[in-house]
Structure 1
Amino acid sequence: MMRQYELVERVQKYKPDANEALLNKAYVYAMQKHGQQKRASGDPYISHPLEVAAILTDMHLDESTIAVALLHDTIEDTTATRAEIDELFGEDIGRLVEGLTKLKRLDLVSKKAKQAENLRKLLLAISDDVRVLLVKLADRLHNMRTLEHMKPEQKARISEETMDIYAPLAGRMGMQDMRDELEELAFRNLNPEAHETVTKRLAELEARNEGLIKKIEDELRELLIANGLTDAFVKGRQKKPYSVFRKMQSKSLSFEQLSDVYGFRIIVGDIPSCYRALGIVHTRWRVVPGRFKDYISNPKQNDYRSIHTTIVGPSRQRIELQIRTQLMQEIAEYGIAAHALYKDGRAGELLPRESNAYSWLRHTIESLAEGDNPEEFLEHTKLELFQDQVFCFTPKGKLIALPRGATPIDFAYAVHTNIGDTTVGAKINGRIMPLVTRLNNGDEVEIIRSGVQVPPAAWEEIVVTGKARSAIRRATRMAIRKQYSGLGHRILERTFERAGKIFSRDALKPALPRLAYKDVEDAIAAVGRGELSSLDVLRAVFPDYQDERVTVKPAADDGWFNMRSASGMIFKLPNQRRVGPEEIEAGPDPLPIRGLSGNMQVRFAPSGAVPGDRIVGIMERDKGITIYPIQASALQRFDDQPERWIDVRWDLDEANKSRFLARIEVNTLNEPGTLATVAQTIAGLDINIRTLTMGSNRADDFSEITMEVEVWDLRQLNQLLLQMKELDVVANVKRVYD
């Protein structure tokens, strides 16, 4: 256990003029109050506040914060009172100790109201003074380090709480080293088997590559020194078990598929040297596409600054590089604790420039803490503490909270429904990115809009927010109604014209009750969808009308015959033998398509179509009807031939599900194991590869793979595209419609 003089010496090493009397008084008071209390391990209880204080001295915090650490459990666990602490140490320290006392039991309980109220207290206390957060995190870190002495159920509860609340909060405040340790300790208790397995595999890898990190460090250092960066410091490390496990889980990878287990930091003297080091490294070794991020010119919201890049470096190892200055390194390690927030001798007075991370969180908490009830507060203000939300910004700085996994489409609908409906693209942190991109904390999102855009129905499978889903459903219904309404109007005009009548919407209104429709547009759209016969509409408007038409005779001169649709329109179709219903029923695997009439040959376009696609049928001479997804560019050939278009839709039987063909193109790195990684990802989603072709693309470093895959539906295909994009070996992947 640390002695009194040892604690004072630790503080005086980085703050020679520290108030030694305050530290001694706090030490003695805590020692007296905790008296003979013991921890679960059997150690004197005073050892805990001492270790918490020691953790804070590693962050070079002021003596007032160290005193609060020594006293943080006195009101909760001893006879000490707030008034007594105010009298001995001042109201500022008393307020902080009381704030920590209120937060001591932040349990994850089943009652949402209680959990929400505790969370509210935590956030409000943090917004009032950042030192509450620093002491609380140090308190939790020491508790996690000594968790082995607790009962199993207590270990599980505390570890879950740490993973859900304290580790993300440390990350939100830029204290990455503390976050890593908290996650690692919680992982060990929550999933001991996985922790043991990953740790064992990492140990085997380290033994197999003994000396590799040192070799790469030396080669990087020599390269930088040879190019004039004589003060460059290089440090390598193997990733920690939880970091490896999280990547395996999030990207559905096996341990063998991980290619960047090693990370290296390059510390240089100033910002220009960071970019010089980057140029030197990129000139020497090949960079992995899509793995470069400049957090110096565009810092994270938690003040983190660094250049990130991944290279195929020495010994052909794929390694992650972080290039930063010493100040950036301190902020990366200690986050808000690296900022001198309080002036000497005047604790609580903020300096002109406070931490961006803390300032952002404080203002956010103050605005969000005004919920009407605890449940509403918990639902809408979980922040980063619970790992199911991310916070992004509009170009004007407005904060938008979204569930984890949200896309720019969710972001657009969160801003305004009209913005979501007219979205055609998005810029994330200044770069145009796909609309399926998952947003991260701190992303700035700019929505690109078009006045003629209608949200595709497929977006419903991409978004994660209820607001976006309902808006897309509503817009899709309106768009489909408008589309079918136009088609229905043309059908009705032709039907009425052939009957010698004139169609008008006003004439249809009195007939709506006979058709069982309340709205004219709904009735017209029903005709377009084929749900309502145009002849029925004609008879409803003109009850005395008698249909004396007969079926058009087959035309024998060109091998085609005429067929009248249910709506009264006449189509020319290939002339072929007519068969009865019994023969159709006996046929092999009829296509699950509604909207077709007669015994016509039907097939899919070469690029295929999958359930969930908006589809259309095209009548083609000698081929029957070909089903295309609406995005197929081949449909442009038929723009001037509307009589050949047939509106069709899926008619799936859940009891007899089938796979459907889709074609995708994958741009990959040309290196061993790439194809195996891609194939394993596809197989892991229960998707079959029917055909596969490979070719070079632009240079020998890349390969282009075109494959036909068999999927159940559009949801499964979108899931495949999303997972493929996250693979390190994949530069780009897209669906091909032709």
Structure 2
Amino acid sequence: MSDIEAFAERLGSYLEADQVNLVRRAYFYAEQAHDGQTRRSGEPYVTHPLAVAGILAEMHMDHQSLMAAMLHDVIEDTGIPKQALEKQFGETVAELVDGVSKLTQMDFDTKAEAQAENFQKMALAMARDIRVILVKLADRLHNMRTLGALAPAKARRIARETLEIYAPIAHRLGMHNLSTEFEDLGFRAMYPLRSRMIERAVRQARGNRRELLGKLLASLEERLQQQGLNGRVLGREKHMYGIYQKMRLKRRAFNEIMDVYAFRIIVDSVDSCYRALGAVHGLYKPFPGRFKDYIAIPKANGYQSLHTTLFGIGGVPIEIQIRTEEMEELANNGIAAHWLYKSKDEVLNGNHARTRKWLKGVLELQQSAGNSLEFIENVKIDLFPDEVYIFSPKGRIMELPKGATPVDFAYAVHTDIGNNCIACRINRRLAPLSEPLQSGQTVEIITAPGARPNPAWLNFVITGKARTHIRHALKHQRHAESVALGERLLDKVLSSFDTSLANIDEQSISAVLGDCGLTLMEDLLADIGLGNRMAYVVARSLLLQAGTRTDSTPEKSEKREEQGGALAIRGTEGLVMNFARCCNPIPGDPIVGLLTSGKGMLIHQENCQELASQRHDSEKLLHLTWDKDVSGEFTVELRVELEQQRGIIAQLATSITVADASIERISVDERDGRISVVQLAVRVRDRLHLSQLIKRIRAISGVARITRLKN
């Protein structure tokens, strides 16, 4: 019997005869299309699509998925267009094949970028039809099983990509069997020596454990019978990559990992799961705090089971998972366990609904990400296998990756809640927005209209959604702020020519925009605000277009600069206006602004030594003044020399707090055995506030000298 006929016979066990015939027809079409092509192993190429379809058949996938598997390389490798497949096999199958087809080779700067673009295309295709990713996973699995035919460098590259992307996706879709095989095959290709050593050690350990394993298995089976529970007990093997990861990340010895005995108890109903839990807890004592109920609160990928750890015979730890037959099927095959494309009216079950929700999130990430590399970085973060389960104040459960913070939670609830978040309560107490969340906590997000994301959030958020939306909001915020600053700078120069932007006609503006290669005035203003274009040059161009006379002698320019007046700083300009760390200007200090290309304006004290090389460049240096309504806190550096005596540093800290200032950082150096030198960075409102603070510090007995550091 030929390979395809043997395969068709297997399909007959769960597909209709006409569906089997369609799959057979797709095979013969692929065989003809790939005629003359061989794999690296020398076999006819069609053996690969047949093997991919075989992997999907083991999961009992529908006939359209199997047809797509047979045809998945036809578009790329044989030049047959998608339209021809659509005509032969219908729109759905053609769309699936197109989704699975690899990107035509494009010129990318790096392999990472090519991989990211490829994955981005795959993500979009699987969001349209989840079966795309299942065919793709089966394709990758067969390629991993036949890696031996490839050159070692190429095999390692494919293995790394599998471990980084495909194994986590299989896990995220609840497909345990697939993700485990991906990990073990990837591990074997990436680290052949380590893999062989662990494999040898596992074989030896299993031989030594056989007797005790048999005793534990028998005692568990006997206990279930005593309680009248129908169920089976299986010994659970640890896979090689899992052992390696525990040894590497948790720094555990091989013996520590293998000393744990693992079993799975499979029963007939959810009620029996909880009864079986009571039965095993009656047989062996449970470890405190090691029980997890994933039946009441399933994992993000739909996984359900009861987990407990017991003290077994002689005190050996026993890990036990208890679940129903349906949960076992779902744990092994995930989204492919119960395929629902039987009728269009059929309601998606919980697992499919969860997957759809995740894919919707992936699509949102793709739309908001700046580029494919940022997108893939965020999706990799979201493929974390460990979750924490957080409650909203109304009792809604949210699944988040381990290490997620209240800001991640806020963005998971809604993008607007994340963007307007200002504080949070964890279990009714006020907590920092950066605090990692623990399972079971109730988190309440406090928002304020008009609030904006803080750039510092990017240092601690975990989820791709939070990271992408924060970057997106900051990009818009930066653009808006650079436009506002650019308008102020341009108007300031125009005022020295006794006019303003409002008085410049549209025709002159359009002409200048054309000369700059821009279409929108706000882009020109943003360029000025970011320091990419000089306000004086743009102002002159506008006035020349408008027919206004512009003199450019140094004396007249200087006079006009004075007429224009200094630009007033409020302290709340945001991302395009920053305060120089070299001299730390505060309200009341004479200041100047240095325009830096692409970064906006950096504000320095007027006498800052760092500006020595810039003083001749009048276009980059701007005279600034402080607005009368300046607000916020500003960093200032102080050097305090004090006599060494018990408790004097505490006194110093208390004096600063009493003066309503806050310490940003502090360092202490001993100059000699008698005098200590304390360097402080403190936050103050203005020069008056600073003088009050210095006066209070001077009053401390033992303070010899205090100076403000500049440069």
Structure 2 length as normaliser, TM-score? 0.60
Give 5+ residue unaligned stretches, structure 1.
452-457, 472-477, 479-507, 532-593, 604-615, 620-626, 631-637, 656-738
CA 1:244/1:104 → structure 2, altered by over 3 Å: closer, same or farther? farther
Distance 1:401 1:522, change over 3 A: farther
Give the drift of 1:241: 1.2
Count of paired positions: 508
Aligned to 2:667: 651
2:348 corresponds, among 349, 353, 362, to: 353
Amino acid at match of 1:617: A
Q: How does 1:199-598 map to 2 (within 5 A)?
A: 199-229=199-229, 231-258=230-257, 261-343=260-342, 349=344, 351-354=346-349, 355-371=352-368, 374-375=371-372, 378=375, 381-382=378-379, 395=392, 405-408=403-406, 411=409, 422-425=423-426, 437=436, 446-447=443-444, 531=638, 597-598=642-643
CA 1:399–1:103 in structure 2 vs 1: closer, same or farther (change >3 Å)?
farther
1:31, CA displacement in angstroms?
Answer: 2.0
Q: Cα deviations across residues 111-156 of structure 1 (Å, max 9, x unaligned)?
A: 6654443222101110111221111111110110110110112101
Give, in whole Å, the separation in 2 of the partners of 1:181 and 1:377: 28
Instruction: Out of 53-62 and 27-36, give the one that drifted further.
Output: 27-36
Residue 110 of structure 2 aligns to a residue in which SS? coil
Q: Contact 1:266–1:322 at 8 Å: present in 2 too?
A: yes
Deviation of 1:295 (Å): 1.2
Does structure 2 retain, via aligned residues, the 8 Å contact 1:371–1:377?
no
What is the correspondence of 1:666-685 to structure 2 with a 5 Å cutoff? none
1:462 and 1:205 mapped to 2: Cα distance?
41
- CA separation in 2, counterparts of 1:618 and 1:34? 83
User: Is the contact between residue 304 and residue 332 of structure 1 (CA under 8 Å) also seen in structure 2?
Assistant: yes
Hey, what does 1:44 align to over in structure 2?
Answer: 44
For 1:524 and 1:147, the matched residues in 2 are separated by: 61
1:89 aligned onto 2:94: no
Task: In structure 2, give the amino acid aligned to 1:600.
Answer: Q
Distance 1:383 1:164, change over 3 A: closer
> How far, CA to CA, are the matches of 1:258 and 1:408 in structure 2?
34
- Give 1:316 shift: 2.4
- Is the CA contact 1:426–1:435 (under 8 Å) kept in the aligned structure 2? no
Secondary structure at the residue paired with 2:30?
A: helix
Contact kept? 1:426, 1:434, Cα under 8 Å:
no
How far apart in 1 are the matches of 2:191 and 2:108?
A: 18
Q: Which letter does structure 2 place at the counterpart of 1:369?
A: Q
Residue 80 of structure 2 is aligned to residue 80 of structure 1: yes
Residue 263 of structure 1: how far off its partner (Å): 2.3
- 1:119 and 1:524 mapped to 2: Cα distance? 45
Q: Name the residue aligned to 1:600.
A: 645
> What is the CA deviation profile of residues 243-294 of structure 1, one whole-angstrom value per residue up to 9, with x for unaligned ones?
1111222223232443764321111000000111111112222222332221
* 1:341-385 C-alpha deviation (Å, 9 max, x unpaired): 211xx6xx3621241232113322343333475347626752557
Determine if the alignment matches structure 1 residue 4 to structure 2 residue 20. no
SS of the equivalent of 2:307 reads: strand
Cα RMSD after superposing both structures:
4.9
Q: 1:270 to 1:264 in 2, by over 3 A?
A: same
Tell me how far 1:226 sits from its aligned partner. 0.8
The Cα offsets for residues 140-188 of structure 1, whole Å up to 9 and x where unpaired, read as 1011011011011210111111111111111111111101110111111
Q: Match for residue 70 of structure 1?
A: 70
Aligned equivalents of 2:269 and 2:375: distance in 1? 43
Displacement of 1:520 in angstroms is: 11
Query: How far does residue 58 in structure 1 lie from its aligned partner after superposition?
Result: 0.7
After TM superposition, the structure 1 = structure 2 runs for residues 139-158 of structure 1, keeping only pairs within 5 Å, are 139-158=139-158
* CA deviation profile, 1:181-220 (whole Å, cap 9, x unmatched): 1011111111223323322332232222123333322211
Verify the 8 A CA contact 2:424 2:443 in the aligned structure 1: no
Whether 1:617 aligns to 2:617 is no
On the 8 A contact 1:595/1:648 being kept in 2, the answer is: no
1:181 matched residue in structure 2: 181
**Change in CA separation of 1:217 and 1:438 when aligned onto 2, cut-off 3 Å:** farther
Distance 2:381 2:369 in 1: 21
Q: Aligned letter for 2:667?
A: D
Q: Note the C-alpha offset of 1:463.
A: 6.5
SS in 2 for 1:422: strand
Residue 518 (structure 1) shift: 6.5
What SS is found at the alignment partner of 1:52? helix
- How far apart are 1:311 and its partner, in Å? 1.7
Distance change in 2, residues 1:323/1:277 (3 Å): same
1:583: which partner in 2?
none
> 1-side partners of 2:87 and 2:631: how far apart?
81
Whole-Å Cα distance in 2 between the matches of residues 14 and 391 of structure 1? 38
AA at the equivalent of 1:370: Q
Q: What percentage of aligned pairs have identical amino acids?
A: 35
What is the SS of the residue equivalent to 1:19?
helix
Q: What is the deviation of 1:34?
A: 2.0
SS of the residue corresponding to residue 298 of structure 1 reads coil
Distance 1:524 1:26 in 2: 69
Aligned to 2:164: 164
Task: Return 10-19 or 269-278, whichever deviates more.
Answer: 10-19
Shift of the 509–199 alpha-carbon distance from structure 1 to 2, 3 Å rule, reads closer
CA deviation map 1:635-682 (0-9, x unaligned) = xxx9xx999xx9997425699xxxxxxxxxxxxxxxxxxxxxxxxxxx
Q: Distance in 2 between matches of 1:82 and 1:397?
A: 48
Query: What is the one-letter code of the residue matched to 2:423?
Result: T
Deviations 1:396-435 (A, max 9, x none): 89999988744446545887679865335369xxxx9997
Compared with structure 1, are the counterparts of its residues 434 and 413 closer, same or farther at alpha carbon in structure 2 (3 Å cutoff)? closer
Counterpart secondary structure, 1:324: strand
Equivalent residue for 1:59? 59
Q: TM-score, normalised to structure 1's length?
A: 0.58
Contact 1:99–1:132 (Cα < 8 Å) also in 2 = yes
Structure 1 pair 398–41 and aligned structure 2 pair: CA distance change class (3 A): farther
Further displaced range: 141-150 or 43-52:
43-52
Residue 140 to residue 111, structure 1, CA distance change in 2 (3 Å): closer
- CA–CA separation in structure 2 for the residues paired with 1:107 and 1:239: 42
| Alpha-carbon distance in 2 for matches of 1:153, 1:59 | 32
Structure 1 residues 509 and 29, CA, compared in 2 at 3 Å: closer, same or farther? closer
Change over 3 Å in CA distance of 1:28–1:168 after alignment to 2: same
Provide the C-alpha distance between the structure 1 equivalents of 2:636 and 2:283, rounded to a whole number of angstroms: 62
Residue matched to 2:120: 120
CA distance in 2, matches of 1:21, 1:460: 54
Partner of 1:736: none
One-letter amino acid of the structure 1 residue matched with residue 145 of structure 2: R
SS at match of 1:84: helix
Q: Which moved more, 1:7-16 or 1:362-371?
A: 362-371
Q: Distance in 2 between matches of 1:309 and 1:105?
A: 50
Asked if structure 1 preserves the Cα contact closer than 8 Å seen for 2:426 and 2:442, the reply is no
How far apart are residue 24 of structure 1 and its match? 2.2
Matched with 1:29 is 29
Query: What is the DSSP-based 3-state SS (H/G/I as helix, E as strand, rest coil) of the residue aligned with 1:263?
Result: strand
Moved more, 140-149 or 191-200: 191-200
Hey, what's the Cα distance between the residues in 1 that align with 2:130 and 2:644?
75
